[in-house]
Structure 1
Amino acid sequence: MDKLRAMQTFVKVVDEGSLTAAASALHTSLPAVVRTLAALEAELQVRLLNRTTRRQSLTDEGRTYLDSCRRILATIDEAEAVLSARHVEPSGQLVLTAPVLFGQMHVAPAVTRFVQRYPAVHCRMEFSDRVVNLLEEEIDVGVRIGPLADSTLVARQVGRIRRVVVATPDFLREHGVPAHPDALTHASCVRFIGNAAHWWTFQQEGRPFYVAVSGNLEFNQTAPAVAACAAGAGFGNFLSYQVAPLVAEGKLRIVLEAFEQPPWPLSLIYPNARLLPARTRVFVDWMKDELSQQFG
């Protein structure tokens, strides 16, 4: 007996509501459906359906087996869809979201290369620093930095991002390189507006601790805060990617590395749905390769 074919027949009988309707949907004869179902019940040694001349109903064993059949058949369909997607040119609209600065610096260039490779895909990028609800706002893929809340979304970690303290070489020569975060208490610090503006978090021997900081500059956006720090206004506390170009150029220097918090995960998130469109699957793989090269 072809067990897979028998499972498909059983599910179709349940979905169509009768043996006759299932035979029509499967483009086969009624006797063939009857024989297949009888052989399946004989193989399992249980009755799956209670059948009369007027109606049919699932037995308890039938309900349990039906759920298993649906999962198995869905997994097979998904595996075949993945293989088929490799041979299908992705097309259609893809909507994605990412934090503003990270999106500008790293997502937009990668997406530009993606649409150059797959011109039939129309990508719409929505950059925002708020936590976007993908399902409610009909967004296909999101880029997230930091711990993820429990949800029905699929998350693929593609890298890690540090939170670092930086200052210009000239500022460090004038004021000294701090040996411990406590030294920041009496230093000029470039801060962000908000509840955490006056406290920076560090870690020592696996335990977090907080240092009060002050300064005469506060910002509600990252880019001008980075610019102020690069101009020598004081110490800044940023995600590593936000200052990476300036660090590479030697315009900013990372300090207090021994006291950094554990790196934050960089993740791609998307709805937990079977049979995702080819464009979504291909895009997620593309972005994973792009971002893991830089942050993996």
Structure 2
Amino acid sequence: MDKLKAMATFVRIIDHGSLSAAAEAQGQSPGAVVRSLAALERALQVRLLNRTTRQLALTEEGQRYLDHCRDILARIDREEAALRDDPDTPSGTVRVTAPETFGRYHLAPLVNRFLQTHPAMRIQLVLDDRPLNLVEAGLDLALRIGQLPDSSLVARRLGTMPTVLCASPDYLASRGVPDLPAALSNHACVTFAPQGPIWRFRMAGEELAVRIDPTLVTNQIDSARQACLAGLGFGRFFHYQVREALADGSLVRVLQDYEPAPAPVQLTYPHAALLPHRVRYLIDWLTPQLAPQLTAA
């Protein structure tokens, strides 16, 4: 048995979430991947994965061995990368995703500037409000706002972003300004579909959940913002999504004292140790450029 190859196969099974997906990624048959895993478990005399036809779950020994494999493979990757890469002249393609509005206003201009000064680099920029799976979508790097649901991702924290509640001046003039979050149950609301019908606030240091009955539910932030601008009710947005409307007065921020804790803004990627030099270089370049744009609003 080729131990290093078996270790790499084991890591790929975890990263891709199934034996069949790992087999496809390696250009092997599912049977070959199963045999590789079985041989590795026999050599170690421990079970690494509990598996059924539908699910894989790491054992405690499997989690420890996974970390061990990542460390060893990363060291090999770094040594090989040092032979290939010129640290002063990065090259190759980096696939990046970010939320649509934030990416358009903040990330895209930086990407343009980066490419002007690094002609050997190529960037594929995917702007999408859906939290795309990096491995499944073939992405190297994601800018994420909010807590990460996937604990396997590595994150470089850039700053935080407030979540604000706002409505148009016309709506507030006709319906009044709520003095407490609970009053929203008597108001029209517009919501971005992933937010759901429960809006969370802070009161006296504790989290407060308020159920709303939305007038409009949409899967597009722009549609939710336009509805609020049209006076259809209250909306909750990350501050960058309504910054211009708040600045020119077409939307008014309310209940600021009850806003939830600002959401973390992070550059995320699958594995820090196995990160290609071109991706690490872009992260190091973007971090000081993006961080100053995330001052608390």
Assess same fold via TM > 0.5.
yes
Query: How many residues are treated as equivalent by the alignment?
Result: 226
Q: CA deviation at 1:123?
A: 0.4
Is the Cα–Cα contact under 8 Å of residues 88 and 278 in structure 1 kept in the other structure? no
* CA–CA separation in structure 2 for the residues paired with 1:85 and 1:248: 46
Provide the secondary structure at the position in 2 that maps to 1:104.
Answer: helix
Alpha-carbon separation, structure 2, partners of 1:173 and 1:258:
21
Find out whether 1:290 has 2:289 as its counterpart: yes
The answer for unaligned runs of 5 or more in structure 1 is: 1-67
Residue 14 of structure 1 aligns with which residue? none
Q: Distance in 1 between matches of 2:224 and 2:112?
A: 27
CA distance in 1, matches of 2:285, 2:182: 43
Question: What is residue 63 of structure 2 aligned with on the other side?
Answer: none
Q: Say whether residues 1:202 and 2:230 are aligned partners.
A: no
The 5 Å alignment of 1:1-296 reads: 88-149=88-149, 151-193=151-193, 196-197=196-197, 199-274=198-273, 276-296=275-295
Change (3 A) 1:214 1:273: closer
Unaligned segments of structure 2, at least 5 residues = 1-67
State the superposition RMSD in angstroms. 3.2
Deviations 1:186-216, CA, capped at 9 Å, x for gaps: 122223346823x322121222222232353
- CA distances 1:22-45 after superposition (whole Å, capped 9, x unpaired): xxxxxxxxxxxxxxxxxxxxxxxx
* Counterpart-to-counterpart distance in 2, 1:283 and 1:243: 28
Q: How far has the Cα of 1:177 moved from its partner?
A: 2.0
User: CA deviation digits over 1:103-144, x for unaligned, max 9?
Assistant: 223222221221122122110012333333323433211111
Once residues 267 and 143 of structure 2 are traced to their aligned partners in structure 1, the CA distance between those partners, rounded to angstroms, is: 5
In the alignment, the residues of structure 2 paired with residue 250 and residue 208 of structure 1 have an alpha-carbon distance, to the nearest angstrom, of: 29
Q: Which amino acid aligns with 1:226?
A: R
Query: What CA distance in whole angstroms lies between the structure 1 residues aligned with 2:154 and 2:205?
Result: 29
Deviation string 1:138-182 (CA, Å, 9 cap, x unpaired) is 321111111124534321110111211001223223332221112
User: Counterparts of 1:189 and 1:205 in 2: how far apart (Å)?
Assistant: 24
- Equivalent position amino acid for 2:204 in 1: E
| Alpha-carbon distance between aligned partners in 2 of 1:223 and 1:269, rounded to the nearest angstrom | 25
For the 8 Å contact 2:191–2:217, the answer to whether it is kept is yes
- Partners of 1:195 and 1:107 lie apart in 2 by 23
TM-score by length of 1: 0.66
What CA distance in whole angstroms lies between the structure 1 residues aligned with 2:151 and 2:257? 33
Among the aligned pairs, what percent are the same residue?
A: 41
- 1:200-259, CA deviations, whole angstroms, 9 ceiling, x for partnerless residues? 221212222222323533322110110111122221111111111211222111110111
The amino acid of 2:264's aligned partner reads P
| Deviation for aligned residue 1:276 | 3.8
Q: Measure, in 1, the Cα distance between the counterparts of 2:195 and 2:255.
A: 23
When Rg is computed on C-alpha atoms for both structures, the one with the higher figure is 1
